[in-house]
Structure 1
Amino acid sequence: MLSDARYNHYEISSYCKDNFKSKHNLTYWDNKPFFGFGLGSASFLGGFRFSRPKKMKVYAGYVQNLEDGVVGLSEDSFPDPKDMAMDAVMLSFRTAKGLDLKSFRKTFGTSLVHSLGKAYRPFVESGHVVCLDRHRRVITTDRFCALLSNEEEIEETVVFIRLSVPDGFLLSNELISLAFHVIAP
Protein backbone atom coordinates (compact mmCIF):
# COMPACT_ATOMS: atom_id res chain seq x y z
CA MET A 1 0.00 0.00 0.00
CA LEU A 2 2.73 2.50 0.95
CA SER A 3 4.88 1.37 -1.97
CA ASP A 4 1.92 2.00 -4.27
CA ALA A 5 1.79 5.55 -2.87
CA ARG A 6 5.48 5.98 -3.88
CA TYR A 7 6.95 5.58 -0.43
CA ASN A 8 10.30 3.75 -0.26
CA HIS A 9 10.75 0.89 2.21
CA TYR A 10 14.27 1.85 3.30
CA GLU A 11 14.38 0.27 6.74
CA ILE A 12 12.62 -2.74 8.21
CA SER A 13 9.96 -0.62 9.91
CA SER A 14 10.21 2.65 8.00
CA TYR A 15 8.96 4.08 4.73
CA CYS A 16 9.62 7.53 3.31
CA LYS A 17 9.25 9.72 0.28
CA ASP A 18 12.41 10.32 -1.77
CA ASN A 19 15.11 12.18 0.19
CA PHE A 20 13.22 12.00 3.50
CA LYS A 21 14.95 9.11 5.26
CA SER A 22 15.45 9.53 9.00
CA LYS A 23 19.08 10.56 9.47
CA HIS A 24 18.84 9.65 13.15
CA ASN A 25 17.74 6.07 12.39
CA LEU A 26 20.25 5.60 9.58
CA THR A 27 23.11 6.68 11.85
CA TYR A 28 22.20 3.76 14.09
CA TRP A 29 21.55 1.21 11.32
CA ASP A 30 24.74 2.21 9.46
CA ASN A 31 26.70 1.49 12.67
CA LYS A 32 28.05 5.05 12.81
CA PRO A 33 29.03 6.78 16.06
CA PHE A 34 26.32 8.58 18.05
CA PHE A 35 25.85 10.19 21.45
CA GLY A 36 22.93 9.63 23.78
CA PHE A 37 22.21 12.03 26.62
CA GLY A 38 20.07 11.59 29.68
CA LEU A 39 18.75 8.76 31.82
CA GLY A 40 19.13 5.34 30.21
CA SER A 41 20.41 6.73 26.92
CA ALA A 42 22.89 4.77 24.83
CA SER A 43 25.94 5.89 22.85
CA PHE A 44 28.23 4.24 20.32
CA LEU A 45 31.74 5.66 20.06
CA GLY A 46 34.97 4.11 18.84
CA GLY A 47 33.39 0.67 18.54
CA PHE A 48 31.97 0.78 22.07
CA ARG A 49 28.28 0.74 22.95
CA PHE A 50 27.42 1.93 26.41
CA SER A 51 24.38 3.11 28.32
CA ARG A 52 23.90 5.61 31.08
CA PRO A 53 22.17 4.69 34.36
CA LYS A 54 18.36 4.65 34.30
CA LYS A 55 17.73 5.95 37.84
CA MET A 56 18.27 9.61 38.70
CA LYS A 57 20.41 9.12 41.83
CA VAL A 58 22.71 6.67 40.08
CA TYR A 59 22.80 8.90 36.99
CA ALA A 60 23.77 11.94 39.10
CA GLY A 61 26.68 9.94 40.54
CA TYR A 62 27.66 8.81 37.06
CA VAL A 63 27.74 12.42 35.82
CA GLN A 64 29.76 13.50 38.86
CA ASN A 65 32.28 10.71 38.19
CA LEU A 66 32.55 11.84 34.57
CA GLU A 67 33.20 15.41 35.68
CA ASP A 68 35.82 14.13 38.14
CA GLY A 69 37.47 12.00 35.44
CA VAL A 70 36.81 8.79 37.37
CA VAL A 71 34.82 6.87 34.74
CA GLY A 72 36.88 4.98 32.18
CA LEU A 73 36.85 1.84 30.11
CA SER A 74 37.71 -1.41 31.82
CA GLU A 75 39.61 -4.21 30.08
CA ASP A 76 36.37 -6.15 29.53
CA SER A 77 34.78 -3.13 27.80
CA PHE A 78 36.62 -3.80 24.56
CA PRO A 79 34.30 -5.26 21.93
CA ASP A 80 34.68 -8.88 20.86
CA PRO A 81 35.18 -9.20 17.06
CA LYS A 82 32.37 -11.78 16.89
CA ASP A 83 30.00 -9.34 18.60
CA MET A 84 31.08 -6.63 16.18
CA ALA A 85 30.43 -8.95 13.20
CA MET A 86 26.99 -9.86 14.57
CA ASP A 87 26.17 -6.18 15.07
CA ALA A 88 27.24 -5.39 11.50
CA VAL A 89 24.97 -8.10 10.05
CA MET A 90 22.00 -7.33 12.31
CA LEU A 91 22.11 -3.59 11.73
CA SER A 92 22.73 -3.86 7.97
CA PHE A 93 19.94 -6.39 7.47
CA ARG A 94 17.49 -3.93 9.01
CA THR A 95 18.00 -1.68 5.99
CA ALA A 96 16.95 -2.14 2.37
CA LYS A 97 20.53 -1.43 1.28
CA GLY A 98 21.86 -4.44 3.22
CA LEU A 99 25.36 -5.59 4.10
CA ASP A 100 28.40 -4.24 2.26
CA LEU A 101 30.38 -7.46 1.83
CA LYS A 102 33.56 -5.71 0.72
CA SER A 103 33.71 -3.73 3.96
CA PHE A 104 32.61 -6.74 6.03
CA ARG A 105 35.27 -8.94 4.38
CA LYS A 106 37.96 -6.32 5.04
CA THR A 107 37.05 -6.19 8.73
CA PHE A 108 36.14 -9.81 9.48
CA GLY A 109 37.82 -11.93 6.79
CA THR A 110 37.03 -13.80 3.62
CA SER A 111 36.18 -17.15 5.21
CA LEU A 112 33.36 -15.64 7.27
CA VAL A 113 31.84 -14.04 4.16
CA HIS A 114 31.97 -17.39 2.33
CA SER A 115 30.39 -19.18 5.29
CA LEU A 116 27.56 -16.64 5.33
CA GLY A 117 27.08 -17.04 1.57
CA LYS A 118 26.74 -20.80 1.90
CA ALA A 119 24.35 -20.48 4.86
CA TYR A 120 22.14 -18.04 2.96
CA ARG A 121 22.01 -20.09 -0.26
CA PRO A 122 18.53 -21.60 0.50
CA PHE A 123 17.21 -18.11 1.21
CA VAL A 124 18.71 -16.71 -1.99
CA GLU A 125 16.99 -19.58 -3.80
CA SER A 126 13.67 -18.81 -2.06
CA GLY A 127 13.97 -15.07 -2.83
CA HIS A 128 14.24 -13.94 0.80
CA VAL A 129 17.87 -12.85 0.39
CA VAL A 130 19.09 -10.81 -2.60
CA CYS A 131 22.68 -10.56 -3.83
CA LEU A 132 23.85 -7.44 -5.65
CA ASP A 133 26.90 -6.46 -7.68
CA ARG A 134 28.92 -3.27 -7.21
CA HIS A 135 26.36 -1.33 -9.26
CA ARG A 136 23.57 -2.70 -7.01
CA ARG A 137 22.20 -4.85 -9.81
CA VAL A 138 20.57 -8.11 -8.73
CA ILE A 139 22.64 -11.24 -9.27
CA THR A 140 20.47 -14.14 -10.37
CA THR A 141 20.07 -17.13 -8.08
CA ASP A 142 21.72 -19.44 -10.62
CA ARG A 143 24.71 -17.10 -10.94
CA PHE A 144 25.07 -16.82 -7.15
CA CYS A 145 24.92 -20.61 -6.70
CA ALA A 146 27.56 -21.09 -9.41
CA LEU A 147 29.79 -18.47 -7.76
CA LEU A 148 29.72 -20.23 -4.37
CA SER A 149 32.36 -22.67 -5.63
CA ASN A 150 34.66 -19.92 -6.94
CA GLU A 151 35.92 -17.87 -3.99
CA GLU A 152 37.87 -15.37 -6.07
CA GLU A 153 35.07 -14.63 -8.52
CA ILE A 154 32.36 -14.41 -5.86
CA GLU A 155 34.40 -11.74 -4.05
CA GLU A 156 34.53 -9.64 -7.20
CA THR A 157 30.90 -10.22 -8.16
CA VAL A 158 28.77 -10.28 -5.00
CA VAL A 159 29.35 -6.94 -3.27
CA PHE A 160 26.12 -6.49 -1.29
CA ILE A 161 23.63 -8.86 0.28
CA ARG A 162 20.26 -7.75 1.60
CA LEU A 163 16.88 -9.05 2.61
CA SER A 164 14.16 -8.82 -0.01
CA VAL A 165 11.34 -6.32 0.49
CA PRO A 166 8.96 -7.27 2.00
CA ASP A 167 9.38 -11.07 2.19
CA GLY A 168 12.96 -11.09 3.48
CA PHE A 169 12.15 -8.45 6.07
CA LEU A 170 9.35 -10.70 7.33
CA LEU A 171 11.97 -13.40 8.07
CA SER A 172 14.58 -10.95 9.37
CA ASN A 173 14.84 -12.43 12.86
CA GLU A 174 15.42 -15.92 11.46
CA LEU A 175 17.91 -14.69 8.86
CA ILE A 176 19.84 -12.59 11.38
CA SER A 177 19.84 -15.51 13.83
CA LEU A 178 21.29 -17.73 11.10
CA ALA A 179 24.18 -15.27 10.69
CA PHE A 180 24.76 -15.32 14.46
CA HIS A 181 25.08 -19.13 14.35
CA VAL A 182 27.61 -18.87 11.51
CA ILE A 183 29.64 -16.15 13.27
CA ALA A 184 29.58 -17.68 16.77
CA PRO A 185 28.64 -21.38 16.46
Structure 2
Amino acid sequence: MMTRPLTTALACAALGLTSHAALALESDASQPIEIAAEQLDLDDNAGTAVYTGDVDMQQGSMQLTAARVEIERDAQGEVSTVTAHGGGGERAYLEQQPAPDEPVAKGWGDTVIYHAAERRVELIDNAELHQARDTFNGAYVEYFLDRRQVQARSADDGDGDQRVRMTLTPRDSE
Protein backbone atom coordinates (compact mmCIF):
# COMPACT_ATOMS: atom_id res chain seq x y z
CA MET A 1 0.00 0.00 0.00
CA MET A 2 1.34 3.41 -0.91
CA THR A 3 0.68 6.23 1.55
CA ARG A 4 0.73 9.91 0.67
CA PRO A 5 0.80 11.76 3.98
CA LEU A 6 1.23 15.27 2.53
CA THR A 7 -1.51 14.78 -0.07
CA THR A 8 -3.79 13.22 2.54
CA ALA A 9 -3.15 16.05 5.00
CA LEU A 10 -3.90 18.64 2.31
CA ALA A 11 -7.07 16.83 1.27
CA CYS A 12 -8.26 16.56 4.87
CA ALA A 13 -7.59 20.24 5.46
CA ALA A 14 -9.30 21.24 2.21
CA LEU A 15 -12.39 19.24 3.09
CA GLY A 16 -12.52 20.44 6.68
CA LEU A 17 -12.30 16.86 7.92
CA THR A 18 -10.37 17.62 11.06
CA SER A 19 -13.16 19.79 12.45
CA HIS A 20 -16.08 17.39 12.28
CA ALA A 21 -16.98 14.21 14.11
CA ALA A 22 -16.56 11.05 12.08
CA LEU A 23 -18.50 8.79 14.45
CA ALA A 24 -19.50 7.91 18.04
CA LEU A 25 -17.14 8.76 20.93
CA GLU A 26 -17.27 12.48 21.67
CA SER A 27 -13.47 12.53 21.93
CA ASP A 28 -13.27 11.14 18.37
CA ALA A 29 -14.48 14.50 17.01
CA SER A 30 -11.35 16.25 18.21
CA GLN A 31 -9.02 13.61 16.80
CA PRO A 32 -7.34 14.06 13.42
CA ILE A 33 -8.56 11.96 10.50
CA GLU A 34 -5.86 9.88 8.91
CA ILE A 35 -6.42 8.29 5.50
CA ALA A 36 -4.08 6.05 3.56
CA ALA A 37 -4.88 4.93 0.00
CA GLU A 38 -3.22 4.21 -3.31
CA GLN A 39 -4.89 7.16 -5.05
CA LEU A 40 -6.72 10.39 -4.21
CA ASP A 41 -8.90 12.49 -6.49
CA LEU A 42 -9.79 15.78 -4.78
CA ASP A 43 -12.22 18.39 -6.11
CA ASP A 44 -12.25 21.22 -3.59
CA ASN A 45 -14.80 23.22 -5.60
CA ALA A 46 -17.27 20.34 -5.55
CA GLY A 47 -16.39 19.44 -1.94
CA THR A 48 -15.49 15.86 -2.77
CA ALA A 49 -12.55 13.54 -2.22
CA VAL A 50 -12.35 10.01 -3.64
CA TYR A 51 -9.79 7.61 -2.24
CA THR A 52 -9.16 4.31 -4.05
CA GLY A 53 -6.98 1.28 -3.50
CA ASP A 54 -6.82 -0.39 -0.08
CA VAL A 55 -8.26 2.61 1.77
CA ASP A 56 -7.74 2.81 5.53
CA MET A 57 -9.40 5.73 7.35
CA GLN A 58 -9.09 6.32 11.10
CA GLN A 59 -10.30 8.95 13.54
CA GLY A 60 -10.10 8.21 17.24
CA SER A 61 -11.84 4.89 17.88
CA MET A 62 -13.33 4.78 14.36
CA GLN A 63 -11.71 2.69 11.64
CA LEU A 64 -13.02 2.30 8.09
CA THR A 65 -11.47 0.04 5.46
CA ALA A 66 -12.64 -0.31 1.87
CA ALA A 67 -11.56 -0.50 -1.75
CA ARG A 68 -13.00 2.99 -2.39
CA VAL A 69 -14.10 5.82 -0.08
CA GLU A 70 -15.95 8.94 -1.22
CA ILE A 71 -16.19 11.93 1.12
CA GLU A 72 -18.63 14.79 0.53
CA ARG A 73 -18.93 18.03 2.43
CA ASP A 74 -21.87 20.41 2.75
CA ALA A 75 -22.07 24.15 1.96
CA GLN A 76 -20.56 24.98 5.36
CA GLY A 77 -17.54 22.78 4.60
CA GLU A 78 -18.49 20.06 7.09
CA VAL A 79 -18.36 16.38 6.17
CA SER A 80 -21.88 15.33 5.20
CA THR A 81 -21.40 11.76 3.98
CA VAL A 82 -18.69 9.15 3.83
CA THR A 83 -19.44 6.32 1.39
CA ALA A 84 -17.26 3.21 1.37
CA HIS A 85 -17.37 0.45 -1.23
CA GLY A 86 -15.91 -3.02 -0.94
CA GLY A 87 -14.18 -4.64 -3.87
CA GLY A 88 -12.46 -7.81 -4.98
CA GLY A 89 -14.88 -9.97 -3.00
CA GLU A 90 -14.27 -8.00 0.21
CA ARG A 91 -16.91 -5.94 1.97
CA ALA A 92 -16.29 -2.45 3.35
CA TYR A 93 -15.71 -2.54 7.11
CA LEU A 94 -16.44 0.01 9.83
CA GLU A 95 -15.81 -0.19 13.55
CA GLN A 96 -16.25 2.30 16.36
CA GLN A 97 -16.64 2.39 20.09
CA PRO A 98 -20.07 4.00 20.77
CA ALA A 99 -19.21 5.04 24.35
CA PRO A 100 -16.27 4.54 26.72
CA ASP A 101 -18.07 1.80 28.68
CA GLU A 102 -19.41 -0.06 25.62
CA PRO A 103 -17.76 -2.62 23.35
CA VAL A 104 -16.74 -1.75 19.81
CA ALA A 105 -19.58 -1.88 17.23
CA LYS A 106 -18.52 -3.54 13.96
CA GLY A 107 -20.27 -3.38 10.59
CA TRP A 108 -19.75 -4.81 7.11
CA GLY A 109 -21.48 -4.24 3.80
CA ASP A 110 -20.76 -4.13 0.09
CA THR A 111 -21.48 -0.42 0.64
CA VAL A 112 -21.24 1.47 3.95
CA ILE A 113 -22.62 5.01 4.15
CA TYR A 114 -22.10 7.28 7.15
CA HIS A 115 -24.40 10.32 7.43
CA ALA A 116 -22.49 12.71 9.69
CA ALA A 117 -25.28 15.13 10.69
CA GLU A 118 -27.64 12.29 11.61
CA ARG A 119 -24.91 10.08 13.08
CA ARG A 120 -26.41 7.22 11.11
CA VAL A 121 -24.71 4.30 9.35
CA GLU A 122 -26.21 2.34 6.46
CA LEU A 123 -24.81 -1.12 5.68
CA ILE A 124 -26.01 -2.14 2.23
CA ASP A 125 -25.91 -5.59 0.59
CA ASN A 126 -24.35 -8.45 2.53
CA ALA A 127 -24.88 -6.29 5.60
CA GLU A 128 -23.79 -7.40 9.04
CA LEU A 129 -23.67 -5.50 12.34
CA HIS A 130 -22.20 -6.68 15.65
CA GLN A 131 -23.45 -4.50 18.50
CA ALA A 132 -22.34 -5.63 21.96
CA ARG A 133 -23.01 -9.38 21.85
CA ASP A 134 -25.87 -9.17 19.35
CA THR A 135 -25.58 -9.73 15.60
CA PHE A 136 -27.82 -8.43 12.81
CA ASN A 137 -27.64 -9.61 9.16
CA GLY A 138 -29.64 -8.73 6.07
CA ALA A 139 -29.58 -7.00 2.73
CA TYR A 140 -29.78 -3.65 4.58
CA VAL A 141 -28.93 -2.74 8.16
CA GLU A 142 -29.21 0.79 9.51
CA TYR A 143 -27.63 1.83 12.81
CA PHE A 144 -28.41 5.07 14.65
CA LEU A 145 -25.33 5.73 16.77
CA ASP A 146 -26.75 8.10 19.39
CA ARG A 147 -29.97 6.16 19.96
CA ARG A 148 -28.31 2.71 19.63
CA GLN A 149 -31.19 1.67 17.37
CA VAL A 150 -30.97 -0.89 14.59
CA GLN A 151 -33.30 -1.35 11.64
CA ALA A 152 -32.79 -4.23 9.22
CA ARG A 153 -34.59 -5.60 6.18
CA SER A 154 -34.28 -8.22 3.51
CA ALA A 155 -33.82 -7.40 -0.16
CA ASP A 156 -36.48 -5.04 -1.56
CA ASP A 157 -37.41 -7.43 -4.34
CA GLY A 158 -38.63 -10.02 -1.82
CA ASP A 159 -36.61 -12.86 -3.33
CA GLY A 160 -35.66 -14.01 0.17
CA ASP A 161 -31.95 -14.33 -0.56
CA GLN A 162 -30.95 -12.08 2.32
CA ARG A 163 -33.64 -12.45 4.94
CA VAL A 164 -33.09 -10.51 8.13
CA ARG A 165 -31.37 -12.62 10.74
CA MET A 166 -30.64 -11.65 14.29
CA THR A 167 -28.80 -13.33 17.14
CA LEU A 168 -29.59 -11.85 20.54
CA THR A 169 -27.29 -13.00 23.33
CA PRO A 170 -28.75 -12.97 26.85
CA ARG A 171 -26.99 -10.66 29.28
CA ASP A 172 -25.23 -12.42 32.13
CA SER A 173 -27.09 -12.18 35.43
CA GLU A 174 -24.97 -10.86 38.27
**TM-score scaled by length of structure 1:** 0.25
Of Structure 1 and Structure 2, the greater helix share is in 1
- Asked which structure has the greater RCO (Cα within 8 Å, sep 6+), the reply is 1
Larger radius of gyration: 1
Of Structure 1 and Structure 2, the greater strand share is in 2
**TM-score scaled by length of structure 2:** 0.26
